[in-house]
Structure 1
């Protein structure tokens, strides 16, 4: 579906015009939205707009890395939003010219819907232009990143608080899933940060000269998001290492107890083995108190070794 909207010289909105009406009309600027376009509608990018074939190819082949390309009469942007349900990337492309902005997306975009509605309801159209539309859409996209990062932070806090008593397999499964979400966010936010940085430092994009502080604000938000993502990735590593260390400590403690018990029983086993040999002539074999003396010796050895190990701190 293709939607169109234009601003007249009297700063009035003109809706539902055809593409040829916009190209042949005398409008200060206009906005065309390719919303889930068909193959026939995509052909309008080739004719009558005559956009560069590489830009059209980037629109068709999903999913491209966020970037911007300069062409003779327009600038092409590839940006990425994030689906809040699946935390998957969704591409939104922009063609920005002197008197137009064209948005292209193959899936519904809440950001574009919000800006489109806000634009059509605006009472001060003199403040709007193609670069302002680009700024507001980018700002909405970046603002929608924050709830996803906060959601992952909440998940990490819950994992950290409930880590005790859980099996290592369940904990690691949750941590790896969280790290996967963080990696997906980083693959979106880092290129978007570089894209906005290029916009700010571009000598060819004169349209942002009066809006640098606005795009700089978006860049600051992306820097904050990047730092939050890296901090959360480090937190997942710390939780994993701490849990593994705790489990290793518990395992070592169990092994130490078992080792102490085994060590205590080693001389007892030796004594029992010696007196269990079936020789006819053995000392104390026919002694009336031989059994009781042997048992007493074994008890004394066990008590003595236990006291010695306790003094060494092996029972702590």
Structure 2
């Protein structure tokens, strides 16, 4: 069984294996599982004696942030950054928590960065009950995610400063990545805020007033990040449109140059084509000055066409 456990007894903290976590009486027990679904289900059902509904909720393959009161405890799903590479459409890993008085069970499929910070706090003796634990998890997740959301905004700021038609392709890749990441964050941050707010309002003696305040603060932080990623998503959309317009202008400018060149050479091609025919009786074809005359005529036509385009300001469009 992959995972670990902590027992807190009279202020003393002990880290134990999962199989030993429930062996002795303790003031507070935390069991964290990182194993596959089948192993976790078997242990939670047979060793921890949890209700089937709770077991299914803790081991579900797909979860969104939510909070649900059940019996004398609460089920909580949260999302945070993982140390493993995540898909762009699903950038946050989940942690599922079942909390009752004196005990907390948590399950993750991927390693969550915030869990390490919670381990540090519980080893230091600052977490002594389920309320402290959940508040610590929520705070650790939002604290870890906050600077990465800010980095997305900074990347867009850099793109806006470097906005140039010659960098369209590079900038579009950055903007698209930022936009996809912001959409993925927003997908989970909005329900996560609602889940934390609901948990902070749940009745129950196992949640102290300071725990509720910490949960409310984490919910406010999640709400602020939700607003920020929404702003980033909108800015990225506008930036993408601006880059598309720049690219269109660049294509139009090049098409204009090609059209001008074609307009210049069209009459010249006609004249040289006529006098290049291998037929008799072409006017002045036998005259010694014919070549110079044709070249002069072509130059005059080219200059006239260029002068017309310059007079119409085509070169400035």
TM-score scaled by length of structure 2: 0.78
Aligned pair 1:66/2:65, yes or no?
A: yes
Aligned pair 1:103/2:106, yes or no?
A: yes
Residues of 1 paired with 2:272 and 2:58: CA distance?
84
Of 89, 93, 97, 1:90 maps to: 93
**Which residue of structure 1 lines up, in the alignment, with residue 80 of structure 2?**
81
Aligned pair 1:179/2:179, yes or no?
A: yes
| 1:7-46 to 2 correspondences below 5 Å | 7-8=9-10, 12-13=11-12, 15=14, 18-22=21-25, 29-36=27-34, 43-46=42-45
Which entry has the higher C-alpha Rg, 1 or 2? Answer: 1
The change in CA–CA distance for 1:14 and 1:163 in structure 2 (over 3 A counts) is closer
Unaligned residue ranges in structure 2 (runs of 5+): none
Secondary structure at the residue paired with 1:144? helix
Q: Kindly provide the CA deviation profile for residues 34-93 of structure 1, in whole angstroms up to 9, marking residues without a partner as x.
A: 243586675453246432212202322334222222222221112222115635433222
Q: Kindly provide the CA deviation profile for residues 72-121 of structure 1, in whole angstroms up to 9, marking residues without a partner as x.
A: 22211122221156354332222222343333335544433433432343
| Residue 222 of structure 1: how far off its partner (Å) | 0.8
**Which residue of structure 1 lines up, in the alignment, with residue 300 of structure 2?**
300
Moved more, 291-300 or 189-198: 291-300
Secondary structure at the residue paired with 2:7? strand
Residues of 1 paired with 2:30 and 2:255: CA distance?
71
| Residue 166 of structure 1: how far off its partner (Å) | 4.4
Q: Contact conserved, 2:264 with 2:305, CA < 8 A, in 1? A: yes
Q: Kindly provide the CA deviation profile for residues 16-44 of structure 1, in whole angstroms up to 9, marking residues without a partner as x.
A: 6752432xxxx6x4122224358667545
**Which residue of structure 2 lines up, in the alignment, with residue 119 of structure 1?**
122
The change in CA–CA distance for 1:291 and 1:130 in structure 2 (over 3 A counts) is closer
Q: Contact conserved, 1:5 with 1:32, CA < 8 A, in 2? A: yes
The change in CA–CA distance for 1:232 and 1:213 in structure 2 (over 3 A counts) is same
| Residue 135 of structure 1: how far off its partner (Å) | 0.9
**Which residue of structure 1 lines up, in the alignment, with residue 309 of structure 2?**
309
| 1:1-316 to 2 correspondences below 5 Å | 1-8=3-10, 12-13=11-12, 15=14, 18-22=21-25, 29-36=27-34, 43-47=42-46, 49-84=48-83, 86-87=85-86, 88-122=91-125, 128-158=128-158, 164=164, 165-166=166-167, 168=169, 170-202=170-202, 204-205=203-204, 208=207, 210-211=209-210, 212-277=212-277, 280-285=280-285, 289-316=289-316
The change in CA–CA distance for 1:223 and 1:84 in structure 2 (over 3 A counts) is farther
- Count of residue pairs brought into register by the alignment: 303
The change in CA–CA distance for 1:234 and 1:282 in structure 2 (over 3 A counts) is same
